[in-house]
Structure 1
Amino acid sequence: MTLKTIQNLTTIITILLATAFLTLIERKILASTQIRKGPNIVGIYGLSQPIADAIKLIIKETINYKINHFFIITPIITISIAFTAWTLIPLDNKSPQSSPNIGMMLIFALSSLSVYSILLSGWASNSKYALLGSIRATAQMISYEVAIGIIILTAIYLSSSLNLSTISITQQFIWYIIPLFPAFTMFLISSIAETNRTPFDLTESESELVSGFNTEYSSILFTLLFLAEYINILLMASILSILFLSNDTLLTQKTPLISSTKIIIITYIFIWIRSTYPRMRYDQLMNLLWKSYLPLSLTLTIILPSIILLTTIHP
């Protein structure tokens, strides 16, 4: 029990550090794409910028004139859900970190719970901008969770397991991205929508909603919401890596360098898309799911088991 606690605490600290420097890397990449300098004053090459940003955010005044307990509780719930989901990710075979047989289902359930925290944060803010942003976020996240859930079924069909370690191990001979490339593409785009990132950042559109569901948040409460967003980006990148690109650490029991590289590449795609594409309209966002991804993902879930059944009966 003590070993698992230490492992989970180590994971949380590592994720916090990775999230802090992810914000710096994102600002550097965005600056590079816009042919300008990014953070380069605080520390060598701006490496101390995340620490300075954290200190600045924490010492800011917390404006809480609503006298609403949900206003304070929801950021804590959001960050707790993000950390809990990370403790279910298998790191390696020797890790005491839990990898339950229904791990994929638990992670999907936890990601669904984050919808409630965002909706509550918008409602508890007592602001029309925040409420509209939270309603948009709720509709968007619920919609794209449908596509994500169906696409996950395709990887489960091939591995015959909900255990993330087993899904990785069954990709020993071929990565699922090769036979399931359309599913991988849809999962990647749905993950971007699920994390409310550009071009699906309609929940935080400054031109319409100031900052969306977190308009009224400041100081440490805003920091928790901000951290949860970037932790979820890393979480979705790791799930993508495990489902479609395997986890080499589980297969070879070596250092997690290759697996980390895959997560970094997927995270870079998130940032690259933000710097490249403009924001979509809300009707385009919904049409993309209900008229494109949902029929395609449902077709995959019908065709794939049929192919597996036919190859089993007639090898």
Structure 2
Amino acid sequence: MNVQADKGTSKFKNIISIIGFGILLIIGIWSAYQVITFIPRLFSDTGATTSTELNERDIAAKLSTTTANSGDDVVINWAHRGDDDGIVSFSYACVEGFYFEIDGDAIACNAPHNVDADAQTLTVTPITTHETVEAALAITYTNTEGVSIRDTKTLTVTGESPVVTTEEVSTETTEEGPREPEVQTTPTVTSVTPTVTPTRIIRVPRTSDPYGIADLQVAMVAVGEITAFGTFEPKGIVHPYSRAAAKFKVTNLGTKETGSWNFSAILPTQAGYPYNSQIQPSLMPGSSIEIFITFDQLVPGIHTFSVHVDSNNYVVEISEYNNAAAQSITVLNY
């Protein structure tokens, strides 16, 4: 009788073990399926060699081409996890004689250029005076909590090589007649007509006159602060714990390309010393660039944000009187 009971118990245990193994197998298959569906690909064919999985902060960017000629449009596509309440920005590293344009406007290097948060594409135009430039660029997404993730790419930009022309010299001798008086001519500068397309307007700068003179002009656009969402809000009164910001515009009013230049700024911060920028891209005649600078550790009181372009006088200019601009900003004591 006990033998039969032991056999029944053993059989029951075997059945329970089989059922338990089946349940574990089902759970394992379900877990694998959840992992696969939880990490979808951001692009069906991005061509990106690396990607970073950071939960809700993932971002991946793709260039329409990895090589481009100076003046050709390049399209940047991207996708990121999370909602569209954050901030998406484009930035690139400073390289002498190189800059990007967006809708015909030069974009400052080493500074974020915000785009629409719900946008997934941006058209940029690389401009360079060199034969070849390796341009490092980045697309950055910052969520509402201030956490950022970026994807960086490298674009190879080819400029126009100088064309050398030779003039044939005749060896034949001819009898010289009476010489006519020589008429001296002065070189003329021709302007490039702006190109207008149905979708957007591109402002083409004038050509550089090798016999001309550059003329940098700076003008304030606005002062303000960075909000909790990472956007710039123009305002003249800020709190001491705010992250203040200033935006100004630099234009070449002359007839010759400026070459490399920089700027210095006096900030209402605790440090109290001038900020000296890195080398900025050369500006063609008629072209301009907007520069955006942020700063914190503010000192309460009424201050003046002032900026001075080409403070070291590297650029030969028509006038130095338009190289400085300023705007007042009030920092509260609470």
Provide TM-score, normalisation by structure 2. Answer: 0.24
Which protein is richer in helix relative to its size?
Answer: 1
Which protein is richer in strand relative to its size?
Answer: 2
Provide TM-score, normalisation by structure 1. Answer: 0.25
Larger Rg: 2
